[in-house]
Amino acid sequence: MADFSIRAAAASDAAAIVSLLKELAVYEKLLDSFGLTEDLVRRDMLGAACHSDLALVKDEPVAVATWYWTYKSFAPRRGLFIEDLYVRAAFRGRGLGKGLLAHLARRACDAGGLLEWQVLDWNKPSIDFYESLGASAAPQWLSYRLEGEYLERLAS
């Protein structure tokens, strides 16, 4: 039996979610763009814009997955997009990351869908982990983003 549990996050978990995702931002060298607050977690990350699930060891949140539903109109089927997956360093190698992914895979299967996520191209430990599960990079697709001045320019 696993020595951890997984559950949907609640409003009372906002501080833990911010803390875990801030650690992820440090790991990904993206702390300068980190702006998440507890209020934003409560507003957006508990089922409104996205969902947050926590892995707990002895009731302590030590891993987080944030995710939301997408839809593939050509397929047609639902997709579960994992925005963030993070396990605190001291708890890695205990099956928490795989447990969170299995938890989300069950949701995707129940919806007749698929799992998708992104990984930074330099993050070899994560890439190796994902490939060990049978995941592969989506062929022919590149991620693009429009934000800031260019987003405002297009919107005007």
Active site positions, annotated: 130
> For residue 64, what are the contacts with CB-CB under 8 A and spacing of at least 6?
9, 16, 17, 20, 21, 24, 52, 53, 54, 55, 84, 85, 86
CA pair distance 21, 27, nearest whole angstrom: 10
Place of tokens 């957006």: 44
Phi-psi domain of 29 (left: phi exceeds 0; alpha: psi -120 through 50; beta: other): left
**What stretch of H or E contains 150?**
helix 148-155
